[in-house]
Copies of this chain bind each other. A is one copy, B any other.
Amino acid sequence: MGKRVAIVGVGNGKFGKRHGFTARELAHEAVKEAFEDANLTPKDIQASVISIAGEQFASQGAPAALINDYVGLTGKPTIRVESACASGTAAIRTAYGLISSGLHDIIMVIGVEKMNAISSAKATELMAYAGDTRWEYPYGVSFPGFYALFATAHMKKYGTTREQLSMVSVKNHHYGAKNPKAHLQKEVSLEEAMNSVPIAAPLNLYDCSLISDGAAAAILVSEDLAKKITDTPVWITGIGAGNDTMLIAERESLTSLKSARDAAQQAYKMAGIGPENVDVAEVHDCFTIAEIIAYEDLGFAKPGEGGKLIEEEQTYIGGKIPVNVDGGLKAKGHPVGATGVSQAYTLVKQLRGEAVVQVDGAEIGLSHNVGQSGQFTNVIIYSRDKKLK
């Protein structure tokens, strides 16, 4: 293997409806915080990798150069990486490769999306365009529809309940309410969550993540440099990436994502750990059913028992495995290109003991980031040096 890679600085702008802010300005907010966090300046950076899922959201073709320039990295080579909603972790994987190979020693990873320049209906339509535009999109399937199919299949096969879906929403809103950077900072009762307006049966409004503007940034460095910059590096100890068929009609199952299982298996193997070793997880709850399926795909619960895991409150702090204690996509928000980098932000803060809602003594964090309807999943495992805490 190549060189070890660590994160030495992170930033996360406010997620929400950021009217008046362009993508470049949102990116700058996150990058500035990452520089301050690492006590570095643009001259220290050798290259950037930028995650933006939709150029149509950004209202800018080939948006990487513009953002690279605006955040002060002019002259440093940049690449845009796109894997739909998994773009953020794809950018981290790309930067990991460029550093671990020895091509670069320090890279700024930036994830950003400006989604509210257009209506929610238009944004949903643009996202639907990431379904197969020959065999899915023309028939009216948008992402709530894909995940409604998954929910229906999971309920039928395993008896997962309407209440259990809403319990995911209640938990994530509970933690989102405490996160000053979250898009929606409010608690939601089980009754409210269960009785909200239907979106795509069986999913209702409180089963769906948010259409948010926002950005996150992370500074990745090689092992040699990490030790010079900080006493509290957070290491990337496992990376897995999975893929599945474009058409969900061709999947072997609608109750589990093969891409996620494959990615998790690779990441656990590379890190030399199992799900029982993870102290805190960020999972891709684009819809409540997605979080329940993630529990199972990541090995936090057996197949079919994800609903029970949330019902027993095992994914709250104090439970078996705290999940999305920053509010998740559901309450923190889901500015698509930023999401995977924001998961890194939360986990780095957790492993340093600096999170707003802290999981005491967390040493190993896991990030699970899904693109499209499961065509992409990236799983990344982050670890801190035990001796430091």
Contact = CB atoms under 8 A, between A and B. Distances in A.
Interface of A: 1-3, 22, 47, 53-56, 59-62, 64-66, 68-70, 73-84, 90, 93-94, 96-103, 126-134, 239, 241-247, 258-259, 262-263, 371-372, 375-376, 378
Max chain B CB contacts within 10 Å: which of A61, A70, A127?
Answer: A61
B101 A375 contact: no
Contacts of A70: 246
14 contacts: A56-B56, A61-B127, A62-B130, A62-B375, A65-B243, A68-B243, A69-B246, A69-B247, A73-B243, A74-B245, A79-B90, A81-B94, A82-B82, A96-B97
A56 B53 contact: no
Contacts of A64: 82-83, 376
Nearest to A127: B61
A378 B2 CA distance: 23
Contacts of A245: 69, 74
B262 A75 contact: yes
B81 A79 contact: yes
Contacts of A75: 242-244, 258, 262
Contact of A54 (B61, B77, B241, B242): B61
Max chain B CB contacts within 10 Å: which of A56, A59, A65, A102?
Answer: A65
A102 B103 contact: no
A130 B242 CA distance: 31
Contact of A77 (B22, B81, B241): B241
A209 B255 CA distance: 49
A83 B79 CA distance: 6
B77 A62 contact: no
Given A77-B376, A97-B100, A130 B61 contact: yes
Contacts of A81: 79-82, 94
Contacts of A73: 243
A65 B375 contact: yes
Contacts of A263: 77
Given A65-B372, A77-B376, A129-B60, A2 B82 contact: no
Contact of A84 (B22, B62, B247): B62
Contacts of A82: 62, 64, 79-82
Contact of A62 (B68, B74, B372): B372
A165 to B, nearest CB: 26
Nearest to A47: B241
Contacts of A101: 1-3, 96-97, 99-101
A143 to B, nearest CB: 11
Contacts of A74: 243-246
Contacts of A259: 77
Nearest to A96: B101
Contacts of A241: 47, 77, 79
A77 B129 contact: no
Contacts of A54: 55, 61
